[in-house]
């Protein structure tokens, strides 16, 4: 049984109804433990059909601050360009993400780059207080494509602080078999 546990602290600042900036600090709590590569996120909703449907662009920059020798980082600065389509279905909301990840932007080796894709559905358990979340996440970095399913939840501790937790299981030999993730998310 391979189990990887990750805790994360994330911050998000909304500068308008359409633009926000975030920072994420992941920490592996299983052995070896330590700080992973940190992320800087920027999201901009550039098309909105209604309050319940829209298209968002996201750019991520991954720092190479994690210890690569302990498996806690990649040793590369990466960036990702992603499109996110979101739509309300009943009480829940679906998200479909497609992105290109440039691995090791300092190295400039295109063969390491890959596509990442995700389908997610979040359903409110208690309106405005807690959600149940289902995700399918994959990429084409290796063959067979690493893929996993995550089942999790989100609880609002206050109007600006949320607690997230989830269990992931891999779908093939290139995926982490079992993983627990949890974290605090602060929006201001």
* pLDDT tens-place string over residues 52-69: 999 999 999 999 898 888
Res 42: pLDDT = 98
15/50: higher pLDDT: 15
Confidence of residue 1 (pLDDT cuts 50, 70, 90): very low
Work out the average pLDDT over 80-92. Answer: 96
State which fold the 3-187 domain adopts. Answer: Porin (2.40.160)
State the pTM of this model. 0.87
Res 67: pLDDT = 83
Quote the CA–CA distance of 109 and 141 in Å, as a whole number: 13
């Amino acid at each position: 049984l391979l189990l990887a546990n990750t805790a994360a602290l994330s911050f998000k600042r909304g500068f308008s109804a359409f633009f926000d900036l975030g920072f994420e600090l992941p920490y592996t709590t299983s052995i070896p433990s330590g700080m992973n590569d940190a992320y800087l996120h920027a999201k901009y909703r550039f098309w909105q059909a209604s309050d319940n449907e829209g298209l968002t662009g996201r750019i991520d920059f991954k720092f190479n601050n994690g210890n690569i020798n302990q498996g806690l980082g990649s040793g590369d600065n990466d960036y990702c360009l992603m499109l996110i389509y979101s739509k309300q279905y009943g009480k829940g909301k679906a998200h479909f993400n497609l992105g290109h990840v440039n691995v090791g932007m300092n190295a400039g080796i295109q063969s390491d780059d890959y596509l990442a894709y995700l389908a997610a559905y979040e359903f409110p358990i208690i309106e405005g207080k807690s959600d149940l979340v289902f995700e399918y996440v994959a990429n084409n970095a290796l063959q067979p494509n690493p893929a996993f399913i995550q089942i999790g939840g989100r609880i609002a501790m206050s109007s600006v602080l949320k607690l997230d937790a989830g269990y992931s299981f891999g779908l093939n030999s290139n995926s982490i078999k079992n993983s627990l993730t949890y974290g605090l998310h602060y929006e201001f």
